[in-house]
Amino acid sequence: MAEPGKGAAASTKTAPKVGNWHEELRARGYRVTPQRQLVLEAVSELGHATPEEICARVQQTARGVNISTVYRTLELLEELGLVTHTHLSHGAPTYHLAAEADHVHLVCRGCGEVTEVAPRLVDGLVTALDQELGFATDVHHLTVFGTCRNCR
């Protein structure tokens, strides 16, 4: 990162509200740059988006922003707890706002549709993994692959 002294400890905090991201950056000694603002706005608008999709959206407004700037910005925003990522396929991770990350992803292998469901729907799995293996599950990064109702 271009700004030293910033660690990953931020990931243990509750996600800041989107409207407070300017304050969150400043409170941690970061500047609010146009690139950071554009990346966060793109993540907000696109929902689940790859860095390449985010870059394409940002470049609609700022053609000079390149993919490495987008990756660095996403990394910083994730450290600050503003965005989070998940893997919905074997490709690049997808990013979405951390404040909206309280869901499990269902990905259809047939049509590629991504459905978000409440974490309570996997409570049985989480409980079984904990009781039988002592494994604490992070359902916010959970993606379940299968076949949707329409493709079955």
pLDDT single digits (tens) 18-70:
557 788 888 888 888 999 999 999 998 998 899 999 999 999 999 999 999 99
Neighbours of 18 (CB within 10 A): 17
pTM of the model: 0.70
pLDDT number for residue 19: 58
Show the 3-state SS of 31-58: CCCHHHHHHHHHHHHHCCECHHHHHHHH
* Over residues 110-126, mean pLDDT: 91
pLDDT single digits (tens) 76-105:
999 988 888 888 877 788 898 887 777 888
State yes or no: pLDDT of 14 exceeds 50.
Answer: no
Residue 42 backbone dihedrals phi, psi, to 5 degrees: -65, -45
Fold of domain 102-146: Dna Ligase; domain 1 (3.30.1490)
DSSP code per residue over 100-146: G--SEEEEETTT--EEEE-GGGGHHHHHHHHHHH-----GGG-EEEE
The angle formed by the CA atoms of residues 43, 30 and 77, to the nearest 5 degrees, is 25
Q: Which CATH number fits domain 8-99: 1.10.10.10, 3.40.50.620, 3.40.50.150, 3.40.640.10?
A: 1.10.10.10
* Over residues 113-131, mean pLDDT: 92
Show the 3-state SS of 67-81: HHHHHHHHHHHHHCC
Task: Tell me the C-alpha distance between 83 and 39, whole Å.
Answer: 10
